[in-house]
């Protein structure tokens, strides 16, 4: 199965971001014909303030981003794992992945469980819980008989979520992200590979990159989108540029790794 | 707090191994005066067959290795985290860590929970459960007000054990190991660092190295003992040689990392 990741520099302007995404998706589909295209976290709106972000929230199945994604998935005949959109539901705001099938139908919705409330070593504070409520559902979906698991960014630090996805049959786990440059340099590659090794799944890790203005200040994300195999080998990785990366993933290799080193069957705690 | 790891090539001869360990411990204590010395998994007997290994099992608090460790800890006035000894208890055989204090008293005993039943990619089969029963207790102990957590080798692939140790207050986690060369090259450093990053603890990872004869065949372990800080940085690491490595660990840094990026307080599943 061929999969493509779109690495982009999302800003706090939905019109601009959707134009960029539209172009990048069409280009990669024309060149590579992937079965699945993955977008990063907050691909349609990144930064701003709690107020401007909240104002961009969409009530699915309505909304500009939602409709755009559904249409383009259908037009191009692809699965589209839309990193995350700001979702308004029942008076709450979520950081939500939406996945569309080649008919343009929503096949999965995952609300980010672990919210990023931290201070980086150089003193920049992030507090996602000021804007978002947290999800509480473990979400998977299927493409051509293969089960995919949903996570977002900071979730990567919580292996128990990944173990739950494996219990539900995941053989591929997707991690749309907007990892900070600083924590990215220290931890991103290592955690992507650790999750792949422990869960013996392919990991599709798709990040935003570059400078974003948030609360009036410049913030930087790390890029370095990558596809990792179940043995922890990086099949392809981007650097800091806006780009797409594509690889074919061999689902037989998941069974092969799991047969020889059946760690996922050895959990006892 | 200064800590030292003893990296050695244990063989299937307890007399020889204890002589080597005796020499290495005395030397590092004379030179570095560590508060704690860590030995690798199976430091006193490595390889052989299920029969010869079982014949070496000790009934604590009796046994040649047990008594040697207690004596040397007392004589040198050190804490001694004795990687693992084959323990016989209640008709069962365990792969057990024993920890001694500077008075020579046992302060912790951990029976390996996850047994290594795998086939390496080049076809070598390991089946620890043929020899051992598995433990089921999460074990920590304290040195100078700092809590240490116990794990052994293959446990490293199961982050839920590490999360449990953190719940019990661990700020340092010890991983005596006998990692195979092949899985070591692919995964050892990465998993040591991932466990440190997720748990925001110091990781003391102490391995055997070199060639071992098991069931009449040559097996190779990976060495590469290392001390990792709670941000995932390797403070010191060995290569493949028989050696000791020492580092001072700054326990204030654990609080500092946990305060800024309080991931260990964000578990919700």
Residue A261 to residue B198, Cβ atoms within 8 A: no
Helix-strand-coil split of chain A, %, nearest 5: 30, 35, 35
- A157: alpha, beta or left, given left = phi > 0 and alpha = psi -120 to 50? alpha
Residues in B whose CB is inside 8 Å of some CB of A read 113-115, 117-121, 134, 136, 138, 154, 157-161, 163-164, 183, 186-187, 190-191, 193-194, 197-198, 231-232, 259-263, 266-269
Residue A243 has pLDDT above 80, yes or no: yes
Mean pLDDT calculated for residue range A155-182: 98
Residue A251 has pLDDT above 90, yes or no: yes
- B114: alpha, beta or left, given left = phi > 0 and alpha = psi -120 to 50? beta
Chain B residue whose CA is closest to A191: B194
Known catalytic membership, residue B41: yes
Mean pLDDT calculated for residue range A220-224: 96
Residues in A whose CB is inside 8 Å of some CB of B read 113-115, 117-121, 134, 136, 154, 157-161, 163-164, 183, 186-187, 190-191, 193-194, 197-198, 231-232, 259-263, 266-269
pLDDT in tens, A41-51: 999 999 888 89
Find chain B residues with C-beta within 8 A of A119's C-beta. Answer: 259-261
Phi, psi of A189 (to 5 degrees): -60, -45
pLDDT in tens, A141-168: 999 999 999 999 999 999 999 999 999 9
Output the pLDDT for position B252: 97
Mean pLDDT calculated for residue range A6-22: 97
Residue A263 to residue B118, Cβ atoms within 8 A: yes
Q: Name the residue facing A121 among B136, B260, B262 (closest C-beta).
A: B260
Output the pLDDT for position A17: 97
pLDDT in tens, B203-254: 999 999 999 888 888 889 999 999 999 999 999 999 999 999 999 999 999 9
Angstroms from B121 CA to nearest CA on chain A: 7
Among all chains, which residue has been given the structure tokens 């001072």? B248
Output the pLDDT for position B37: 98
Among all chains, which residue has been given the structure tokens 């909304």? A63
The answer to whether residues A86 and A54 touch, using CB atoms and an 8 Å cutoff, is yes
ipTM: 0.96
Single out the catalytic residue among A150, A153, A192, A206: A153
Known catalytic membership, residue B153: yes
Find chain A residues with C-beta within 8 A of B157's C-beta. Answer: 197-198, 263, 266
Mean pLDDT calculated for residue range A58-86: 97
Q: A221-255: b or e for each residue (b if 16 or more CB lie within 10 Å)?
A: bbbbbbbbbbbbebbebbebeebbbbbebeeebbe
Closest by CA position to A113, among listed A175, A193, A170: A175
- All structural domains of chain A, each given as residue ranges with its CATH number in brackets, are 2-265 (3.60.110.10)
Angstroms from B72 CA to nearest CA on chain A: 35
Mean pLDDT of chain A: 96
Q: Name the residue facing A269 among B160, B193, B268 (closest C-beta).
A: B160
Alpha-carbon span B8 to B132, nearest angstrom = 23
Output the pLDDT for position A112: 98
Chain B residue whose CA is closest to A121: B260
Known catalytic membership, residue A153: yes
The answer to whether residues A164 and A198 touch, using CB atoms and an 8 Å cutoff, is no
Predicted TM-score of the model (pTM): 0.96
pLDDT in tens, A101-149: 999 999 999 999 999 998 877 888 889 999 899 999 999 999 999 999 9
Chain B residue whose CA is closest to A138: B269
Q: Which stretches of chain B drop beneath a pLDDT of 50?
A: none
Would you place residue A217 in the very low, low, confident or very high pLDDT band (cuts 50, 70, 90)? confident
Residue A261 has pLDDT above 80, yes or no: yes
């Amino acid at each position: 199965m061929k999969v493509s990741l779109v690495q982009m520099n999302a800003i706090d302007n939905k019109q601009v971001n959707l134009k960029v995404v539209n172009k990048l998706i069409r280009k990669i589909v024309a060149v590579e014909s992937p079965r699945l295209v993955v977008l990063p976290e907050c691909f349609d709106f990144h930064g701003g303030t709690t107020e401007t972000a909240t104002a961009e929230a969409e009530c699915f199945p309505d909304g500009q981003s939602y409709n755009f994604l559904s249409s383009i998935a259908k037009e191009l005949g692809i699965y589209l794992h839309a990193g995350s959109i700001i979702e308004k539901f029942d008076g709450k705001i979520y950081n939500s992945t939406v996945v569309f099938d080649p008919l343009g139908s929503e096949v999965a919705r995952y609300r980010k469980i672990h919210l990023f409330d931290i201070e980086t070593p150089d003193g920049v504070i992030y507090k996602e819980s000021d804007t978002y409520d947290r999800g509480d559902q473990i979400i998977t979906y299927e493409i051509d008989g293969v089960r995919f698991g949903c996570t977002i960014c900071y979730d990567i630090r919580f292996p128990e979520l990944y173990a739950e996805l494996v219990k539900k049959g995941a053989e591929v786990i997707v991690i749309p992200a907007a990892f900070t440059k600083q924590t990215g340099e220290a931890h991103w590659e290592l955690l992507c590979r650790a999750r792949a090794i422990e869960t013996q799944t392919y990991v599709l890790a798709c990040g935003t990159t570059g400078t974003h203005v948030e609360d009036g200040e410049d913030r930087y994300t790390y890029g370095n989108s990558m596809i990792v195999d179940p043995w922890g080998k990086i099949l392809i990785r981007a650097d800091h540029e806006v780009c797409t990366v594509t690889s074919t993933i061999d689902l037989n290799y998941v069974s092969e790794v799991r047969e020889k080193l059946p760690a996922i069957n050895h959990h006892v705690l």
